[in-house]
Amino acid sequence: MKILIVDDEEISRTILFSKMAHMGTCVAVNSAKAALAELDKAQTKKHPFDVITLDVSMPGMGGQELLEHIRKKEALDKIPKNDRVKILMITARMNLGTINACIKRGCNGYLTKPVTQVQLIQSLSQMGFEPAIAEKNDQAGISYNAGVAEIIKRFYSGKIRLPVFPSIVKELEALLADKDPCVDDLAKIVEKDLLISGKLIAIANSSLYKGLDDVDSLNGALVRLGLKHTLGVCSALATRNLFDSENDALKTEMDALWVHSFAVATLARRLAQEKGFDNLESIFLMGLVHDIGKMLLMKVFVDMYPDVCISDKDLQLVIHEIHTTFGGVLLKKMHFSKHFIKIAEFHHWEQSEDNTDKELLVVSLADSLASELGFGFFSKKDENNTKFEEGDLYLEINDEFELDHDKIMAKLSSLSTLNFLGLDPEKVFSIIAQIHPMIKETSRAF
Ligand SMILES: [Fe+2]
Ligand SMILES: [Fe+2]
């Protein structure tokens, strides 16, 4: 593989060079002008580059302009689409607008600084390369980077079994799309899935859905939940199965990830309802699967390396770094729509803009709030914004958690997603206060 690294900052160039040197022949330059000279040279020698990593912001001609220039030249030279150089944009800030602009101009991928080995392997594998993995042993005797990189390779070569959603979810969606669906039609579909129908009654009696009296029949549960909630609950039951494991250590992590996902789904649904969105059940399912990349990466890791401690922070960090892009590709392979894929891919990106999808805004907001409410990950970075702090990557479901109005209001006022959605912080707080106690109880009923 022949690689061109273009970055005006020496540190970034050196980092990228050191992480890719073993993957092929690397050339590193500090400006767009020098990059163009290298590209000309390569063309004259008829030995073109396979990959370019391109820093978005450089003085003079920036990364986006250079990207556009290269793509225009390739079109003029009539280079077939498959033979065009793969371009990976590298940005300093997680800005969706910039990334969308780069995608429009024809980039093949994007990463934010500081770029890690596993992220590079993930991006290059996604582009169809088979990058070599640098070996380095961690405490457990295997390299977490190498382990995760191996999973990525297997995933892209189709050797990893994808999670399967029971067909009941699709059948219910089709029924709901009908003009006049009734409870009897619903019962016919739900009855066929014993696992799901068996749990529906308990869930209809849980605090999130509870009415005045307990229900004790499937029909009673369906009437209580109504058509739309039944779809949501069945999606949640189907998703819950994916988080099952027979390995004790993994089960602990998976249970916590499930509670987190359920909390995000429930909060997102409720906030979307507040805004009058009409696709509440889809938003609920989006919340349930937003971290699906993390789920599969953890499961496959334990399958492949049963002796590894899955909750080890270094391993969790490696998984965290790629779970979004990995999750996006996974949902695509599972034939989810592009809205779902976007959510898996971008739910941790910090900067939104006016045309950001409302589903993405609401799920990202719910994701940041879930962690604030004791249903989430600690992902605070150190003051240089480069490294995760000691002990902050553990997924933690805090049973003792109590809502602190001032602390949550401070968090709410720092979230730009709230402004983009036009939500009032006090109103959001009252929603949180209302559903917070129900989330944990109901999540455990599944
Ligand atoms: Fe996530
Ligand atoms: Fe999350």
State in Å: Cα 420 to ligand 2 middle.
20
State in Å: Cα 159 to ligand 2 middle.
26
> What fold does the segment set 2-115 form as a domain?
Rossmann fold (3.40.50)
Residue 294 CA to residue 255 CA, distance in Å, equals 13
Question: What residues pack around ion ligand 2 (CB closer than 5 A)?
Answer: 291, 367
| Shortest-distance ligand to the CA of residue 365 | 2
CA–CA distances in Å: residue 192 to residues 34, 145, 171, 338, 421:
65, 43, 11, 30, 40
State in Å: Cα 44 to ligand 1 middle.
45
One pLDDT digit (tens) per residue for the chain, 446 residues: 999 999 999 999 999 999 999 999 999 999 999 999 999 999 999 999 999 999 999 999 999 999 999 999 999 999 999 999 999 999 987 778 888 899 999 999 999 888 888 899 999 999 999 888 776 555 555 688 888 988 998 999 899 999 888 788 888 888 877 777 788 888 898 988 888 888 888 889 888 887 778 888 888 899 888 887 888 888 888 889 888 888 988 998 999 899 999 999 999 999 999 999 988 988 999 999 999 999 999 999 999 998 888 988 888 888 988 999 999 999 999 988 899 999 999 998 876 677 778 999 999 999 989 888 888 765 444 455 444 444 445 566 666 677 889 988 998 988 888 888 999 999 999 999 988 888 888 888 88
Consecutive H or E run containing 272: helix 248-274
Domains 2-115 and 167-445 share a fold: no
CB 115 within 8 A of CB 9: no
- CA-based torsion, 117, 119, 124, 129: positive or negative: positive
Q: Which residue has the tokens 């589903």?
A: 359
State in Å: Cα 106 to ligand 2 middle.
29
CB 212 within 8 A of CB 224: no
Nearest to 200 by CA among 217, 176, 182: 217
State in Å: Cα 409 to ligand 2 middle.
20
**Crossing angle (nearest 10°) for helices 218-242 and 167-177:** 130
Residue 250 CA to residue 347 CA, distance in Å, equals 24
| Shortest-distance ligand to the CA of residue 377 | 2
Q: Is 343 helix (H, G, I), strand (E, B) or coil?
A: helix
Residue 39: CB atoms within 10 A of its CB come to: 21
State in Å: Cα 85 to ligand 2 middle.
34
State in Å: Cα 347 to ligand 1 middle.
6
Nearest to 59 by CA among 8, 6, 113, 114: 8
Residues β-bridged to residue 87: 52
CATH class of 167-445: mainly alpha
Cα within 13 Å of Cα(122), Cβ side: 27
State in Å: Cα 442 to ligand 1 middle.
22
Question: What residues pack around ion ligand 1 (CB closer than 5 A)?
Answer: 291
**How do strand 25-29 and strand 2-6 relate by DSSP bridges?**
parallel
| Shortest-distance ligand to the CA of residue 346 | 1
State in Å: Cα 111 to ligand 1 middle.
16
Q: Which residue has the tokens 């709901």?
A: 176
State in Å: Cα 261 to ligand 2 middle.
6
Q: The whole model's pTM is what?
A: 0.84
Per-domain residue ranges of the chain = 2-115, 167-445
State in Å: Cα 254 to ligand 1 middle.
14
**Crossing angle (nearest 10°) for helices 292-304 and 144-156:** 110
State in Å: Cα 318 to ligand 1 middle.
13
State in Å: Cα 159 to ligand 1 middle.
24
CA–CA distances in Å: residue 398 to residues 290, 360, 376, 379, 408:
21, 26, 9, 15, 16
State in Å: Cα 394 to ligand 1 middle.
12
Q: What string of DSSP letters covers 89-129?
A: EEESS-BHHHHHHHHHHT-SEEEESSP-HHHHHHHHHHTT-
State in Å: Cα 368 to ligand 1 middle.
10
Q: Is 329 helix (H, G, I), strand (E, B) or coil?
A: helix
- Cβ neighbours of residue 132 under 8 Å, at least 6 residues apart? 22, 23
